[in-house]
């Protein structure tokens, strides 16, 4: 994207790209991961540090003249952070670019690489100058710098009244407030020199402004591709951008093959099902409705599949916004590339779908008719994809997009021309058919099928032998008296007002829709690219805003320390930090963790051993990729894949069943429910993780103490929000720690990078907090990447990991780090300097090129210290604790793994979900808009259809159209379920906060109140617009059916999404299942016409009973009044009346009614008498209405049960767990644990 047109002689574009990529991979230490997916917080990929380096490399490749790096070393160890900054230094020197970086906890080596340093204090600049002069400036001011304190830490501490220390004799002369610091700076010689330097630069620059601008334009012109606009910020042309984006889209498609194959398999299944349903349809007049049904479905199914594209577009929007801001490409280039890549995929799917469907269903078998069919279906699919892409690009949230898409599907399908033919459309909505690409496609498909064909009549009226003249007729629209066949052209002209002459005109119109919506899609992408980008501003509950002075402080001092100045971290209540000092040691021995990668085993942890004693603070350090987080997850029993083996003990005893609920785990990723407030998140943790015998009032009081403990009093009632919208990174980290502390872990606290991304003040506050917790008897183990010398000395012990998951050191840190420095000093090529950070020195020894000459794990395993560790582990395992690990252990054995019973878990979790729904206004409003507006639209589209044959059929189709909202409603629900499930599986399940059964049950129950209300409202709309006033019993039953329909939607959504990874895949599965349910409802193909092996599908489809029950309740018992086009008109023999001529036919059991028995010409015969006859064709009977409703709720119960079963099988790996339990039986004597 950034490869310039002007390159060195002989260097091709491909050569430069290959070279730059290799350099970046090497510079950022990513060469070993170049074929590994990046992943995210929920999808396994590269490690957290490596993912950060990918982001940094991506930004570096933008080759910007000015770059801003906001805390870009967060999550990197000291070596990697130094490596990155040194490359940034090199980049600045080589390209003469300017780079400004905000870096927390920077080492002295990092500080030395910068030219200038800017120091801010409460938003005021108090120093800007050479990096080498910054520390001296403040030392001359009168502030004391600790010998092992880096310049970065010193400059940060100077702005913290709680941590800074004045030099002896300067206590009363140094500035104290930010205003005093600023004034001191403005009065200094350094400030005067800075102003002079700025003046000289501006004089030189503006004095040669014309020349400078000319040179700049010339250089930019050489860099840019030919033909580009002068104002364009991109380097390459739009076609080149599109080509590269298309290449990436192809790679993403290949890496996500499961999603593509899911779509393909789903379409093949549907094609086989639909084709087999209409297989063997006789080529008579009875086939007309079947032809219409199969052609209608061929268009409908591709439209439903196109809706699922919306999910994918939203998943990639944030990446597109970021990369387009780097001027890599225009948003429209990426959008157009995705379209180009999607077309071949849709073509392959269309080939399988259309070939199978066309020939299996027995459509016209000439080559021209098949290829016309294929062309129209494929082009219509692409056009519909453009429409839904436009909706996704123009909206700001997925629920909003799904609501609009759902309503649009309803409108397009209703006015396709099949369920509501053109002659029956009401004038107020008929215009929709003129702007509906599906209407033009369906007309073309139908006339292509029936044109020029005469279909034998399957049922003449009357059916006497030896009929001659015009004394008989076929009771089908378009028939001619005296003919034993019906011409296809006459049929579709009379029934639908279609014409074969419109065939190629319609293709042109569909292409017009395609290109029009392609343009709108690209425009919407350009104009709405940043709709998902927000700012980190706290949003408070109504009426819970902090006081004015607090708001001002919060607005000004955004990046204040984690523990607010002046706030104590001591426990001020009479109760100590822990209810009772914990005397049980947590230990592990010879721990291994193996995973299968491309069929080959790979060991990520290679027999680390160690312990965490009560009241100790243990640091887990190592270079990136050493397995620190992996070890932490294994110790916390959080592994969900791979195989963990080793020995785990608590007080010399095997791990208790309640172990997960007795430990706290602060993850590196701050995963929280976006709609909760800080206080609610902590209360949720406290209510579920503190033991049941603790009163609720005491739990809530402990939450208030925790809020104060982590310094979030001002933000206690702030909504968490999403990353980038709501709490900032520091506040989210506070919340993560607070959530674990609110659970009152009685045994251990694990923390994964708790200080990552925080400045030295906040990091110092975190470590102070952890020390206080340790003093209360809590054992703490935390990974840490970039500890300063001051932070490092706060730890009691160090567990150092080398690459390969091996231990390089486990022992005491010692006072002033003397113990650990002594160990490395005896073995390393050099000793730690007096002014050097011990942590950086240690990481340097095991990570840099010099350290590679030493096998540090081997040196450790053969050392005296390692033997002492082994002896201590033997002592721990051979001296089990004589009493329970903590005072609640006896109760723990009784209650099982969860601190509170299921009966208490349900209302707590249910309350949180209902809060989420109440605050998700977009979701709730979108749901009600889709349901209410959709039903209003259907009601007035099929308004008072009348009692004709076609009117009754239209009323049945109106019920089908209500059911057509099913798929859109389901796809609205699934992202909400995924959000709750993700939080549960990533964080809450591992802490045994509540059972997975509670997760499923509460998510299902949360939808029911809204669906009951929606069912009542939509019943009133539909019933009185389509059916009118009926008996109270009938109206009451229809109401119950509508409530059942929406409850079915909620339970079906839960069943489908429960085992699947994401809403996109689940949406495609929903489309397949819903299509089959609708297809087998008995309307598109009657039960008697179904092949025998498909009868069971008709009987198991919930839509059979829903459509049938509502239809018979609202239509049964009415008399048919045929319209003029439905009357069969023929001539009686000369001298006979219509009544005498038809008497024998009627006595033989004719289903219809003769309207003019006395007439001697133009006999008018209505083929049917009662609506029950139409209903009976589809197996719908009035006496089954209550049975249908009861069977409907049987499906609700089935969906709920299937949700539990599928989640257990696919998300909990039930069968895999069973196999591993058998394996554990053979290791039980050694207390081995397999995960």
* pLDDT reading at 571 higher than 50: no
Residue 1187 has pLDDT above 90, yes or no: yes
Whether the Cβ atoms of residue 663 and residue 747 lie closer than 8 Å to each other: yes
Whether the pLDDT of residue 53 is over 80: the answer is: no
User: 1201 or 452, which is more confident?
Assistant: 1201
Flag whether pLDDT at 1124 surpasses 80: yes
Highest mean pLDDT among 618-622, 712-716, 758-762: 618-622
Contact 945, 954 (CB under 8 A): yes
Over 70: is that where the pLDDT of 1155 sits? yes
How many Å apart are CA 1101 and CA 1080, to the nearest integer?
6
582 against 518, higher pLDDT:
518
- In tens, the pLDDT along 244-260 reads 889 888 888 887 777 78
DSSP letter for each residue of 66-101: EEEEESTTTT--HHHHHHHHHHHHHHHHHH--EEEE
For residue 1035, how far is the Cα from the chain centroid?
Answer: 41
Q: Strand pairing partners for 603?
A: 594
Q: Are 738 and 656 in contact (CB under 8 A)?
A: no
Q: For residue 343, name the pLDDT band (cuts at 50, 70, 90).
A: very high
Strands, sheet with 1128-1130, edge to edge from the N-terminal-most edge strand: 1128-1130, 1163-1166, 1153-1154
pLDDT computed for residue 547 by the predictor:
58
Give yes or no for a contact between 430 and 423, defined as CB atoms under 8 angstroms apart: no
What mean pLDDT comes out for the span 1143-1154?
88
Q: What is the spatial distance between Cα 689 and Cα 699, in angstroms, rounded to a whole number?
A: 10
Residue 555 confidence class, pLDDT cut points 50, 70, 90: very low
pLDDT at position 1063, please?
85
Question: Does 977 have pLDDT greater than 80?
Answer: yes
Q: Which residues of 260-299 are buried (b: 16+ CB within 10 A; e: fewer)?
A: eebbbebbbbbbebbbbbbeebeebbbbbbbbbbbbbbbb
State what percent of residues in the chain have pLDDT above 70.
86
Contact 910, 991 (CB under 8 A): no
What is the Cα–Cα distance from 1126 to 1076, expressed in whole angstroms? 31
Q: So what's the pLDDT on residue 754?
A: 84
Closest CA to 848 of 34, 151, 149, 109: 109
Q: What is the pLDDT of residue 853?
A: 58
Among the residue ranges 462-476, 767-781, 890-904, the one predicted with the least confidence is 890-904
Q: Is the pLDDT of residue 528 over 70?
A: yes
Q: Using an 8 Å Cβ cutoff, are 358 and 272 in contact?
A: no
Q: Cα–Cα distance between 1109 and 1113 in angstroms, integer? A: 6
Q: Region 191-203: what's the mean pLDDT? A: 88
Q: Summarize the confidence of residues 700-721 as an average pLDDT.
A: 88
Query: How high is the pLDDT of residue 582?
Result: 59
Q: What sign for the dihedral angle of Cα 702, 708, 714, 720?
A: negative
Asked if residue 211 lies in contact with residue 305, where contact means CB atoms within 8 angstroms, the answer is no
Name residues whose C-beta falls within 8 Å of residue 451's C-beta, 6 or more positions apart in sequence: 488, 489, 500
Sign (positive/negative) of CA torsion 48, 49, 51, 52?
A: positive
Question: Which residue pairs from 704-707 have beta carbons closer than 8 angstroms and sit at least 24 positions apart in sequence?
Answer: 705/571, 705/573, 706/682, 706/738, 706/741, 706/742, 707/678, 707/679, 707/682, 707/738
Between 10-19, 415-424, 852-861, 1174-1183, the lowest mean confidence (pLDDT) is in 10-19
The CA angle 250-252-254, to the nearest 5 degrees, is 70
- What are the tens digits of pLDDT across the range 576-613? 344 344 578 999 999 999 888 777 888 889 889 999 99
Residue 942 pLDDT grade (very low, low, confident, very high; cuts 50, 70, 90): very high
Highest mean pLDDT among 105-109, 272-276, 541-545, 708-712: 272-276
Q: Would you give the DSSP letter of residue 1119? A: B
> For position 572, what pLDDT does the model report?
37
Task: Assess contact for 798 and 773: CB atoms under 8 A.
Answer: no
% of the chain surpassing 90 pLDDT: 33
Angle in degrees, 0-180, between the axes of helices 996-1022 and 902-919, rounded to the nearest 10: 50
Q: Is the dihedral of CA 531, 532, 533, 536 positive or negative?
A: positive
Rounded CA-CA distance 1037/502 in Å is: 45
Residue 166, pLDDT > 50, answer yes
Which tokens belong to 33?
């991961």
Residue 227: predicted pLDDT:
63
Helix (H) or strand (E) holding 259: helix 257-277
| Contact (Cβ atoms closer than 8 angstroms) between residue 744 and residue 776 | no
CB atoms within 10 A of CB 801: 28
What is the average pLDDT across 270-284? 86
Task: Measure the CA–CA gap between 1071 and 1051, rounded to whole angstroms.
Answer: 16
Residue 922 pLDDT more than 80? Answer: yes
Residue 168 has phi, psi (to 5 degrees) of -60, 130
Complete domains list, the chain, with CATH: 238-527 (no CATH), 548-868 (3.40.50.300), 908-1118+1185-1221 (no CATH), 1124-1170 (no CATH)
Scan for tokens 């392959």, then name that residue.
348
Lowest mean pLDDT among 574-583, 726-735, 1072-1081: 574-583
Q: State the pLDDT confidence band at 844, using cuts at 50, 70 and 90.
A: confident
Please tell me which residue, 392 or 853, carries the higher pLDDT value.
392
3-state secondary structure labels for all residues of 44-65: CCCCHHHHHHHHHHHHHCCCCC
Judge contact between 510 and 376, C-beta under 8 A.
yes
Asked if residue 20 has pLDDT above 70, the reply is yes
Average pLDDT, the chain: 83
The CA distance from 121 to 177, in Å, is 9
Contact 54, 38 (CB under 8 A): yes
1228 pLDDT band (50/70/90 cuts)?
Answer: very low
* Rounded Cα–Cα distance for residues 1029 and 1026 (Å): 9
* Paired tokens of 5: 């047109």
Q: Higher-confidence residue: 1158 or 322?
A: 1158
Q: What is the pLDDT of residues 638-680, one digit of tens each?
A: 887 788 898 898 888 888 877 887 888 998 778 888 889 999 9
Q: How far apart are CA 751 and CA 780, in angstroms?
A: 8
pLDDT, tens only, 212-232:
666 666 666 666 666 666 666
Whole-model pTM?
0.77
Distance CA(381)–CA(825), nearest Å, equals 70
List of residues 6+ apart from 519 with CB closer than 8 A: none
Q: pLDDT grade, residue 815 (50/70/90)?
A: confident
With vertex at residue 797, the alpha carbon angle to CA 563 and CA 859, rounded to the nearest 5 degrees, is 140
């Amino acid at each position: 994207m950034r490869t310039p047109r002007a390159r060195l002689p002989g260097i091709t574009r491909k050569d430069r790209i290959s070279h730059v990529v290799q350099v970046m991979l090497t510079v950022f230490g990513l060469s070993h991961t170049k074929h590994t997916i990046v992943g995210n917080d929920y999808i396994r990929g590269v490690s957290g540090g490596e993912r950060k380096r990918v982001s940094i490399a991506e930004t570096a490749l933008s080759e910007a003249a000015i770059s801003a790096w906001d805390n870009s070393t967060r999550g990197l160890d000291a070596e990697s952070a130094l490596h990155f900054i040194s490359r940034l230094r090199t980049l600045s020197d080589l390209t003469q670019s300017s780079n400004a970086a905000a870096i927390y906890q920077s080492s002295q080596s990092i500080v030395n690489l910068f030219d200038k340093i800017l120091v801010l204090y409460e938003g005021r600049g108090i120093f800007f100058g050479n990096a080498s002069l910054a520390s001296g400036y403040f030392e001359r001011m009168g502030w004391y710098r600790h010998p092992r304190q880096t310049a970065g830490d010193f400059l940060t501490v100077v702005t913290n009244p709680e941590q800074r220390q004045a030099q002896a004799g300067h206590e009363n002369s140094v500035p104290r407030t930010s205003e005093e610091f600023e004034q001191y700076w403005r009065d200094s010689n350094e400030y005067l020199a800075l102003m002079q330097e700025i003046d000289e630069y501006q004089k030189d620059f503006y004095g040669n402004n014309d020349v400078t601008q000319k040179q700049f334009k010339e250089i930019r012109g050489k860099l840019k591709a030919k033909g580009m606009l002068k104002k364009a910020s991109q380097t390459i042309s739009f076609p080149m951008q599109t080509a590269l984006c298309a290449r990436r889209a192809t790679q993403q498609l290949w890496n996500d093959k499961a999603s593509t194959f899911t779509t393909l398999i789903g379409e093949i299944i549907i094609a086989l099902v639909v084709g087999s349903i209409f297989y063997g349809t006789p080529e008579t007049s009875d086939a007309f409705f079947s032809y219409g049904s199969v052609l209608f479905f061929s268009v409908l199914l591709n439209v439903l599949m196109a809706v699922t594209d919306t999910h994918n577009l939203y998943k990639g929007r944030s990446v597109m916004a970021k990369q387009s801001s780097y001027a890599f490409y225009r948003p429209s280039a990426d959008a157009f590339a995705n379209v180009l890549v999607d077309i071949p995929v849709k073509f392959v799917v269309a080939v399988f779908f259309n070939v199978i469907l066309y020939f299996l269903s027995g459509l016209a078998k000439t080559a021209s008719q098949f290829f016309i069919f294929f062309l129209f279906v494929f082009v219509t699919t692409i056009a519909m994809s453009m429409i839904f892409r436009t909706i996704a690009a123009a909206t700001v949230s997925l629920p909003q997009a799904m609501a609009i898409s759902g309503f649009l599907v309803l409108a397009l399908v209703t006015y396709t021309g099949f369920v509501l033919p053109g002659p029956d459309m009401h004038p107020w909505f008929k215009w929709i058919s003129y702007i509906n690409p599906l209407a033009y496609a369906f007309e073309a498909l139908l006339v292509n099928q029936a044109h020029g064909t005469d279909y034998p009549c399957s049922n003449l009226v009357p059916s006497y032998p030896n009929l001659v003249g015009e004394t008989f007729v076929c009771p089908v629209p378009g028939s001619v008296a005296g003919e034993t066949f019906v011409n296809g052209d006459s049929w579709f002209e009379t029934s639908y007002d279609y014409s074969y002459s419109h065939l190629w005109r319609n293709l042109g119109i569909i292409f017009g829709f395609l290109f029009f919506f392609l343009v709108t899609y690209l425009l919407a992408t350009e104009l709405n690219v940043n709709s998902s980008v927000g700012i980190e501003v706290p949003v408070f509950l109504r009426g819970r805003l902090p006081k004015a002075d607090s708001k001002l402080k919060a607005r000004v001092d955004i990046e204040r320390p984690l523990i607010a100045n002046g706030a104590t971290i001591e426990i001020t209540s009479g109760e100590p930090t822990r209810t009772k000092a914990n005397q049980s040691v947590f230990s592990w021995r010879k721990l291994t963790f193996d995973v299968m990668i491309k069929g080959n085993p790979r060991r990520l942890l290679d027999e680390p051993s160690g312990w965490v004693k009560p009241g100790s603070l243990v640091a887990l350090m190592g270079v990136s990729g050493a397995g620190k987080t992996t070890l932490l997850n294994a110790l916390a029993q959080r592994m969900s894949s791979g195989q963990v083996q080793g020995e785990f003990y608590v007080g010399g005893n095997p791990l208790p069943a309640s172990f997960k609920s007795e430990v706290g785990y602060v993850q590196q990723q701050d995963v929280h429910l976006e709609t909760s407030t800080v206080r609610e998140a902590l209360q949720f943790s406290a209510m579920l993780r503190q033991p049941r015998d603790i009163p609720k009032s005491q739990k809530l009081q402990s939450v208030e103490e925790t809020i104060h403990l982590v310094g979030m009093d001002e933000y206690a009632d702030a909504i968490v929000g999403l990353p980038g919208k709501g709490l900032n990174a520091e506040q989210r980290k506070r919340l993560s720690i607070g959530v674990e502390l609110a659970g009152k872990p009685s045994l251990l606290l694990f923390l994964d990078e708790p200080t990552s991304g925080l400045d030295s003040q906040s990091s110092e506050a975190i470590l102070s907090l952890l020390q206080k917790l340790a003093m209360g008897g809590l054992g703490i183990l935390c990974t840490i990447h970039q500890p300063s010398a001051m932070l490092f000395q706060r730890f009691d012990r160090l567990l150092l990991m080398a690459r390969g998951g091996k231990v390089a050191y486990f022992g005491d840190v010692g006072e002033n780090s003397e113990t650990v420095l002594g160990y490395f000093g005896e073995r390393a090529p050099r000793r730690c300097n007096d002014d050097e950070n011990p942590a950086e020195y240690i990481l340097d020894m095991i990570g840099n090129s010099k350290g590679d000459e030493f096998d540090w794990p081997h040196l450790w395993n053969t050392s005296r210290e390692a033997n002492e560790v082994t002896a201590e582990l033997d002592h721990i395992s051979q001296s089990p604790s004589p009493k329970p690990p903590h005072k609640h252990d006896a109760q723990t054995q009784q209650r099982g793994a969860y601190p509170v019973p299921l009966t208490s878990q349900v209302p707590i979790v249910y309350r949180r979900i209902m809060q989420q729904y109440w605050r998700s206004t977009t979701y709730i409003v979108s749901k009600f808009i889709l349901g209410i507006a959709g039903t209003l639209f259907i009601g007035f589209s099929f308004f008072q259809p009348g009692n004709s044959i076609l009117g009754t059929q239209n009323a049945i189709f109106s019920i089908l159209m209500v059911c057509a909202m099913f798929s859109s409603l389901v796809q609205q629900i699934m992202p909400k379920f995924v959000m709750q499930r993700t939080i549960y599986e990533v964080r809450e399940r591992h802490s045994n906060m509540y059972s997975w059964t509670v997760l499923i049950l509460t998510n299902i129950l949360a939808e029911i109140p809204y669906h009951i209300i929606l069912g009542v409202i939509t019943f009133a709309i539909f019933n009185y617009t389509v059916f009118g006033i009926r008996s109270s019993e009938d109206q009451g039953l229809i109401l119950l059916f509508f409530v059942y329909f929406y409850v079915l939607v909620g339970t079906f959504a839960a069943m489908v999404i429960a085992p699947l990874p994401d809403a996109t895949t689940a949406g495609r599965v929903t489309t397949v299942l819903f299509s089959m349910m609708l297809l087998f409802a008995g309307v598109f193909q009657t039960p008697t016409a179904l092949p025998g092996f498909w009868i069971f599908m008709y009987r198991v489809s919930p839509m059979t009973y829903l459509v049938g029950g509502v239809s018979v309740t609202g239509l049964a018992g009415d008399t048919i009044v045929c319209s003029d086009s439905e009357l069969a008109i023929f001539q009686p023999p000369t001298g006979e009346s219509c009544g005498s001529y038809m008497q024998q036919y009627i006595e033989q059991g004719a289903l219809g009614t003769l309207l003019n028995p006395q007439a001697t010409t133009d006999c008018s015969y209505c083929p049917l008498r009662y609506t029950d006859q139409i209903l009976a064709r589809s197996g719908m009977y009035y006496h089954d209405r209550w049975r249908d409703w009861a069977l409907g709720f049987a499906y609700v119960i089935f969906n709920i049960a299937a949700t539990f079963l599928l989640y257990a099988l696919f998300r909990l790996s039930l069968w895999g767990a069973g196999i591993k339990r058998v394996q554990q039986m053979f290791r039980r004597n050694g207390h081995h644990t397999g995960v």
